[in-house]
Structure 1
Amino acid sequence: MLTGACRRSLFVIGMIGCLHSVASRLGAQQQGMALVRERTVDAGFGGVGAIAVDHRGRLYVSDFMSQHILVFSSDGVLTDTIGRSGRGPGEYTAIGAIVIGRGDTLFTLDLALRRITAYSPGKSTVAYTLSVPRVPGQGLANLLLAPSSGFVVGHSDPYQASAPSRPEVSLRLLGADGTLAKRPLFTVPRVEALIQRLGKNSTSVGPLPYGRESFAQLGLGDRIYWNWSGSLRVVAVDRTGASAVVLDETALSVPVHQADLDLLIGSYENPKERDALRLALRGPNVPQTKPATRAMVVDDRGRIWVGRIGKDDQVVMRGGVLSYTSPTGTMSWEVLDGERRERVSLPEGVLLRVVRGGKAYGVERDADGLETIVVFAVRSH
């Protein structure tokens, strides 16, 4: 979801000693952590959008098909539904990011209405709303962070079919009074897309196989942690725009072979879609190498969870969504905790979204594209 020019840093000095140590510990893995599956949360989701978890363990799941948010107790029981389709207060047209902010307040973002909605802890009635101002030439990105005051929102450049370009997402502070900062805190690359011409005046924009994307999460001290999936580099940015590198390692360059593309094309059931993809993959912007990461999560203890892409992992169409598949059937996660590093494995169909209160919450997608929420206990040996 995001891109990268960062600036000077005051907190670099305090962090610099451990940063070089963390970055130099390639291969120094600890084996003291395990994720133990506790439960599956399934409410017949039409399409899982975002997940958020509050301090009491209540789970909030947005459903972009139904345009509402389902609320589950800490033991997985459905207790409430927030919102519905519409344009009024508490209604959604294009529900996007949802986050838990200060005081366990739930904040939601509607991309079409350009509106942030706040709900008091444990309540399904609207506390207040806030409009997100426009930025000329950019659209609203699906990004919402809630630091100790105000918000961080993103505005993205449009994709261009006429010429090669790298659109960016600019992250800006949004005050509680609705004032948007004129200058971005920093910018990150927008997710790479497969752009196809459908005629003289129309194009399609879809996911790019083996494409890169940006991950941005709010961590301790209101720092924003950012990773571009083409690298093993994580940068922390504070609310002044000051930045520090917290992980910087050389990622193994793994080529995308023709056999990888043939497997992908063959995973499409529709012959016309296979032919269209085969033609599109001949374009100049198709990645020549595989990304390094699939996801990044920053937990409530400040640990950074990085989902890795293995050298033998391949992209296939599964249940209508491009997904990575591995010969081992698993996905490796590296957990960075200061100078300590641990590694855990999860089924390849599970993608972690939130780690909080000793629990890890992920979305599991089966071969038919059906999604459920899986909750794991984080245990140390």
Structure 2
Amino acid sequence: MGNYSKIKKGIYCAALLLVFGCTSEPEVEVPEHVKDLDNLTVYSTDPQPARKIQLEREQTFGSREEILVGRMGDIAVDSSGRVFIADVQNQSIHVFHPDGRFITQLGREGRGPSEFGFIKSLQIRKNRLYVYDFNQYKVSVFTLDTLAGDQTILLAQNRGKYRALDRAYPSIDQLYVRNNNTYLAKFKSDSSKTNKIWQNFEIKGLFYLLDSTGKIASEKLLDLKVATGTNVGTSSSSAILGYHVEDFFGNALPVLSSDNGIYLAEPDLFLIKAYSPNGVYEHAFYYPHKKISLTRKSAIEAEVPDIYIKSMQSMDLPQTWPVLTEMKIDDQDRLWIATTVENMNVYEWWVLDATDGSLLARFTWPRDKPIEAVKDGKLYTRETKEETGLEEIVRYNVEIIENK
């Protein structure tokens, strides 16, 4: 996965010289549990990118006279620039030409072929669109040439053979399509949940490989904390509901490269770990990053929903905001990572070379225009039209140029 400086246990100080050279630059503080990682690259506190990002707005995709898109879910973009938008209100997929024209609608609500209970994700690999239905634990596959339904794959039907999965829960929270028509499934489990209101609990992710028929084909690859849940009271004083307040606690952020490599970031540090397609740890890279205090004032500035702000005094909250809030990987295997900065109206996005973690470019972008995908030199965001209040997908041309 490219050349990178190696930091082995017991020779950490010597390895820093490999990264920074013999300069007077202050030593970077690295948490003890990060120092223990093999093959770790540590970058400087304030790296300066050699390039910059220029974005030019090009096209919008969404409701038209001939089609009304309900509540937008996930999106996908094929190699020709067609945009596929999941409508989770109507459980269908709207397909748009690269120039914004509506083409057709795929699927509908139901339990049959090309019908959906809840569309969780859309992914495109080679010449196929994969639609993951969270409610029915199935994948519907469409051929991009004809946009016809090709097959339906039921997932993890053999889960009873795996002790950690032999109950109705954990469920498949996320499904990642690999480049060989197999899958990486993340099962989510919160078995450590307690019965005390406002107490936090650990949500774990159990990663398994699934074969092309949807059957589990491996022992557990990864077992890690993916989020923090909180027990909250409901309208009934005796009822307790476990809920993940993503705004305050963040998520673990996995992505798959074009060769099925796994990259994993956790919210509390700017630390990216790289794993082989079979879940074997390979290397990691770390950037020291300033943590931003989590306060009621900053929560209001970040436009966190009022229901969470009103409950902040009752919750056991972290002292700081998540360092990393989102991670995408583009078709060139570059990592696009959103970081929290003092201006709560924006995120600072870093573009990294996934092979060694080196910084390619950096730019700020509004929080209320989340980046959904980057592909073929185009960036796709989710934005709200002021005049109608309707969401739309907006495509920008991306130019990465040298800093002068």
Task: Say which SS state the counterpart of residue 75 (structure 1) adopts.
Answer: coil
Amino acid at match of 2:153: L
Indicate the residue corresponding to 2:381 in structure 1: 362
Indicate the residue corresponding to 1:94 in structure 2: 118
Larger deviation, residues 333-342 vs 353-362: 333-342
Based on CA coordinates, which of the two structures has the bigger radius of gyration?
Answer: 2
Indicate the residue corresponding to 2:97 in structure 1: 73
Aligned CA-pair RMSD: 2.7
2:200 aligned with 1:162:
no
Contact 1:90 1:117 in 2 (8 A): yes
2:370 aligned with 1:351:
yes
Matches within 5 A, 1:221-236: 221-236=259-274
Deviations 1:193-220 (A, max 9, x none): 4431223244263534422112222113
Indicate the residue corresponding to 2:23 in structure 1: none
Tell me, in whole angstroms, the C-alpha distance in 1 between the residues paired with 2:54 and 2:6: 25
Deviations 1:220-269 (A, max 9, x none): 3211222112221112222221223443122322221243356679963x
Indicate the residue corresponding to 1:323 in structure 2: none
Larger deviation, residues 354-363 vs 203-212: 203-212
Tell me, in whole angstroms, the C-alpha distance in 2 between the residues paired with 1:123 and 1:142: 29
2:385 aligned with 1:376:
no
Greater relative CO, 1 or 2 (CA 8 Å, sep 6+): 1
Amino acid at match of 1:157: S
Q: Which TM-score applies when normalising by structure 2? A: 0.77
2:351 aligned with 1:335:
yes
Structure 1 gaps of 5+ residues are 1-10, 314-325
Structure 2 gaps of 5+ residues are 8-17, 20-40, 160-164
Indicate the residue corresponding to 2:148 in structure 1: 125
Task: Say which SS state the counterpart of residue 166 (structure 1) adopts.
Answer: strand
- The percentage of counterpart residues that share the same residue type is 20
Indicate the residue corresponding to 1:257 in structure 2: 295
Measure how far apart 1:79 and its partner are.
Answer: 0.7
Contact 2:207 2:220 in 1 (8 A): yes
Deviations 1:44-72 (A, max 9, x none): 43222111111111111111111111111
Counterpart among 135, 143, 146 of residue 112 in structure 1: 135
Q: Against the structure 1 CA distance between its residues 261 and 218, is the aligned structure 2 distance closer, same or farther, given a 3 Å change threshold?
A: closer
Amino acid at match of 1:230: D
Tell me, in whole angstroms, the C-alpha distance in 1 between the residues paired with 2:300 and 2:361: 35
Amino acid at match of 1:259: K
Tell me, in whole angstroms, the C-alpha distance in 1 between the residues paired with 2:97 and 2:6: 38
Amino acid at match of 2:179: S
2:220 aligned with 1:184:
yes
Matches within 5 A, 1:181-330: 181-198=217-234, 199-203=237-241, 205=243, 207-261=245-299, 268=306, 273=307, 278=310, 280-313=311-344, 326=345, 330=346
Indicate the residue corresponding to 1:3 in structure 2: none
Deviations 1:75-133 (A, max 9, x none): 222111111011111001111111011x2211111111110111112333321111112
Tell me, in whole angstroms, the C-alpha distance in 2 between the residues paired with 1:369 and 1:291: 29
Q: Against the structure 1 CA distance between its residues 123 and 202, is the aligned structure 2 distance closer, same or farther, given a 3 Å change threshold?
A: farther
2:184 aligned with 1:152:
yes
2:166 aligned with 1:136:
yes
Contact 1:161 1:197 in 2 (8 A): no
Q: Against the structure 1 CA distance between its residues 342 and 261, is the aligned structure 2 distance closer, same or farther, given a 3 Å change threshold?
A: closer
Q: Against the structure 1 CA distance between its residues 47 and 192, is the aligned structure 2 distance closer, same or farther, given a 3 Å change threshold?
A: farther
Tell me, in whole angstroms, the C-alpha distance in 2 between the residues paired with 1:183 and 1:258: 44
Tell me, in whole angstroms, the C-alpha distance in 2 between the residues paired with 1:29 and 1:113: 45
Contact 2:171 2:189 in 1 (8 A): no
Indicate the residue corresponding to 2:33 in structure 1: none
Contact 1:194 1:208 in 2 (8 A): no
Amino acid at match of 2:219: R
Tell me, in whole angstroms, the C-alpha distance in 2 between the residues paired with 1:75 and 1:344: 27
Indicate the residue corresponding to 1:85 in structure 2: 109
Tell me, in whole angstroms, the C-alpha distance in 1 between the residues paired with 2:291 and 2:351: 22
Q: Which TM-score applies when normalising by structure 1? A: 0.82
Task: Say which SS state the counterpart of residue 16 (structure 1) adopts.
Answer: coil
Contact 1:218 1:298 in 2 (8 A): yes
Q: How many residue pairs are counted as aligned between the two chains? A: 346
Task: Say which SS state the counterpart of residue 376 (structure 1) adopts.
Answer: strand
